[in-house]
A and B are shown apart, each in its own frame.
Chain A
């Protein structure tokens, strides 16, 4: 894992074109977010409320989920529970088979990425069509989303034009964003018209009314929820909120943090399948509630804050590591700071533990997160969990990143610092052998100027200047 991680990082850093593309795009998003919150006090007030709404929702999660199920069912939405990705995938394919759907049109859903749904369905001969433009581009390129909100943010228009040319050689070549978008519209319109089943994610599930809230700009999500006979919505169990009047606060935090928009073009509130007398809308709506480790995360009061996330992507845009590495280097569904705290908990520290190192703990994510998730603190906690230090938590793979050499070094370090005599010995030794150090820390000094140690330590200088130990 660690070796693969280092290779991916090196590859990502060497890819100048992608780095230029994401640098440009993320700078734009950061500026737009800043402009969207001109009033600092209002922003902090909204963040307080966002944090309170999400914290309370998680505190009452079992009750809210039961209420959501009750109210959705009363509206005619069928609710399914899945403990694992495999259960969720089977549920979805059962529904598709029952309706003899050979094709599924998909709106944007990170949970479906988490499920590995496309590969699962394709193995059963079901065609999966991504309909969000960014998702379509990464699907055509046989890649994974690069960013949780803007999946194709790493590609410039020339790369996209070439991709379209390779996939649809019969269409005229164009590098114009509008022309490319128009092509996507033409290609997908026929799919929408004929689709039997559509699948989307959920941004917020309102327990009180049994309503699924979805935000989007393109209208492809609405196509997926409205045109086909069957609409399947997949979501993690943490997305539930208690009341409808909490939605406006979260919506405004979400869209302004994500892209600086006051609101998205569409806010689509799905409340029920087609009712008697209605001429359109799906005949069946299914809601899949996925656990996949979330209930375990919820049991830990500190780690539970991870689940407040509303997937705005702002922490990615503001992260100096993500800006340089991009989303693919992480090798996980969720990249960036949120990926760094979520993936090691979902997959375990043995599989995804390296992600917690992909941070300088600069605190930028902490400063902008609309629901105030203390990401740096959680990264530190997971670093400690990785080497088995601290609590008796349930994080899978706890202690799996322990390295005996590292442990020995830290033991020695602690021992040397525990006694004034030993400490003095150490510092005088270091100041005399300082020139050797660069060789001992090769990986660091390979690309950085080696530290030059002063011949006299601070303690000695202070003592010589007349300061005493107390």
Chain B
């Protein structure tokens, strides 16, 4: 196999590639939007992509409960995540939606995850106004599948964390200095237009994306 490697690299080097090798200068692409404008644009884009956006305060667990209680069922969350304790505290005790902690490796809870969970809850690391995208950095406390397998995904976003563009966000947060094993931009519920360009939501990922914006 290393034969293939050296063969390929040798051919590329022998190809005498000698164009201008200095990396192009890409100016930072951003917009001068104030926080209110960022939120307005984020919301418009997210709603255009069928995401739900709700403005909330300190009582966000209660608000989230109200948004979910009609369906009932079980909400999966990371108890050791940054919002885990606050969620537990604010969650109605004997309500229609049970909290289920994500604590075991997926191998041990695959069936629960795929079959008996109705919603997943995560924090996020910011959002992008231009495209209406949430930025998720899954961690051991908030695993990767929380935002994918349950039919509903709920996210709490701090309004101050909305950047104008993706470029601005990854530069401001200095992503190149260290990233988790999986990073996601999520811009709406899962969808497909593979049948006659007709949009259908909830293909393999969540059917509903609920964004709670805390200001």
A-side residues, CB < 8 A to B, are 21, 25, 28, 49, 52-53, 55-56, 58-62, 65-66, 75, 80-83, 87, 91, 131-134, 137, 150-152, 156-157, 160, 177-178, 180-182, 184-185, 188-189, 192-193, 208-209, 211, 217-220, 222-223, 225-227, 237, 242-249, 251-252, 259, 262-275, 277-281, 289, 291, 295-296, 298-299, 301
A91 to B196 alpha-carbon distance, docked (Å):
37
B32-40, B54-62, B83-91, B141-149 - interface stretch: B141-149
Q: What are the interface flags for B169-185 relative to A under an 8 Å C-beta threshold, 1 for contact and 0 otherwise?
A: 01100011001111111
Interface residues on chain B, size class: 35 or more
Are A218 and B192 interface neighbours, CB within 8 A?
A: yes
Q: What are the interface flags for B4-17 relative to A under an 8 Å C-beta threshold, 1 for contact and 0 otherwise?
A: 11011101111111
- For A245, the chain B residues whose CB sits under 8 A away are 26, 167, 170-171, 176
Most chain A CB inside 10 Å of its own CB: which residue of B16, B149, B170 = B149
Q: What are the interface flags for B120-161 relative to A under an 8 Å C-beta threshold, 1 for contact and 0 otherwise?
A: 000000001011110000111001110011000000000000
Are A249 and B26 interface neighbours, CB within 8 A?
A: yes
Are B195 and A266 interface neighbours, CB within 8 A?
A: no
- For B128, the chain A residues whose CB sits under 8 A away are 263
Closest 8 CB pairs between A and B?
A219-B205, A299-B15, A52-B24, A272-B181, A59-B19, A181-B200, A277-B140, A134-B194
A65 to B149 alpha-carbon distance, docked (Å):
34
Q: What are the interface flags for B98-125 relative to A under an 8 Å C-beta threshold, 1 for contact and 0 otherwise?
A: 0000111110001100100000000000
Are B143 and A280 interface neighbours, CB within 8 A?
A: yes
**Given that A245-B26, A281-B181 are known contacts, is A265 also in contact with B189, CB under 8 Å in the complex?**
yes
Are A177 and B200 interface neighbours, CB within 8 A?
A: yes
A156 to B195 alpha-carbon distance, docked (Å):
7
A278 to B180 alpha-carbon distance, docked (Å):
10
- For A291, the chain B residues whose CB sits under 8 A away are 4, 7-8, 11
Q: Contact partner of B24 among A53, A91, A270, CB < 8 A?
A: A53
Q: SS class of chain A's interface: helix, strand, loop or mixed?
A: helix
Q: Contact partner of B204 among A180, A188, A279, CB < 8 A?
A: A188
Find the A residue at minimum CB distance from B103. Answer: A279
- For A266, the chain B residues whose CB sits under 8 A away are 184-187, 190, 205
A211 to B22 alpha-carbon distance, docked (Å):
21
Are B29 and A299 interface neighbours, CB within 8 A?
A: no
A251 to B25 alpha-carbon distance, docked (Å):
17
**Given that A60-B17, A278-B181, A299-B16 are known contacts, is A81 also in contact with B8, CB under 8 Å in the complex?**
yes
Find the A residue at minimum CB distance from B110. Answer: A193
Q: Which of B47-87 contact A (CB under 8 A)?
A: 49
B168 to chain A, nearest CB (A): 9
- For B193, the chain A residues whose CB sits under 8 A away are 150, 217, 259
Most chain A CB inside 10 Å of its own CB: which residue of B128, B131, B133, B189 = B131
- For B131, the chain A residues whose CB sits under 8 A away are 262-263
12 inter-chain pairs at a CB distance below 8 angstroms, sorted by A residue, are A55-B19, A157-B198, A189-B114, A192-B114, A193-B114, A208-B176, A209-B176, A223-B204, A248-B170, A269-B182, A269-B184, A278-B144
Find the A residue at minimum CB distance from B24. Answer: A52
Are B185 and A263 interface neighbours, CB within 8 A?
A: yes
Are B186 and A265 interface neighbours, CB within 8 A?
A: yes
Q: Contact partner of A220 among B110, B197, B204, CB < 8 A?
A: B204
Find the B residue at minimum CB distance from A242. Answer: B23
Find the B residue at minimum CB distance from A296. Answer: B11
A301 to B19 alpha-carbon distance, docked (Å):
9
A269 to B184 alpha-carbon distance, docked (Å):
6
Are B179 and A219 interface neighbours, CB within 8 A?
A: no
Are A265 and B183 interface neighbours, CB within 8 A?
A: no
Known: A56-B21, A222-B184, A245-B167. 16 other contacts (CB 8 A): A52-B24, A55-B24, A58-B17, A132-B194, A157-B196, A177-B200, A217-B191, A218-B203, A242-B23, A243-B176, A245-B170, A247-B170, A263-B132, A269-B183, A274-B181, A301-B19
- For B132, the chain A residues whose CB sits under 8 A away are 262-263
Are B145 and A226 interface neighbours, CB within 8 A?
A: yes
- For A271, the chain B residues whose CB sits under 8 A away are 179-183
- For A156, the chain B residues whose CB sits under 8 A away are 196
Q: Contact partner of A133 among B166, B176, B184, B194, CB < 8 A?
A: B194
A448 to chain B, nearest CB (A): 34
A81 to B26 alpha-carbon distance, docked (Å):
31
- For A180, the chain B residues whose CB sits under 8 A away are 195, 200
B8 to chain A, nearest CB (A): 5
A336 to B18 alpha-carbon distance, docked (Å):
30
Find the B residue at minimum CB distance from A283. Answer: B107
**Given that A218-B204, A219-B203, A263-B185 are known contacts, is A248 also in contact with B166, CB under 8 Å in the complex?**
yes
- For B110, the chain A residues whose CB sits under 8 A away are 193
A109 to chain B, nearest CB (A): 16
Most chain B CB inside 10 Å of its own CB: which residue of A66, A137, A193 = A193
- For A298, the chain B residues whose CB sits under 8 A away are 11-12, 15, 17
Are B145 and A80 interface neighbours, CB within 8 A?
A: no
Most chain B CB inside 10 Å of its own CB: which residue of A177, A181, A211 = A181
Find the B residue at minimum CB distance from A181. Answer: B200
Are B176 and A56 interface neighbours, CB within 8 A?
A: no
Are B20 and A56 interface neighbours, CB within 8 A?
A: yes
Q: Contact partner of A184 among B143, B191, B203, CB < 8 A?
A: B203
Are A279 and B202 interface neighbours, CB within 8 A?
A: no
**Given that A59-B19, A61-B17 are known contacts, is A133 also in contact with B180, CB under 8 Å in the complex?**
no
Are B21 and A269 interface neighbours, CB within 8 A?
A: no
B38 to chain A, nearest CB (A): 15
Q: Is B208 an interface residue (CB 8 A)?
A: no
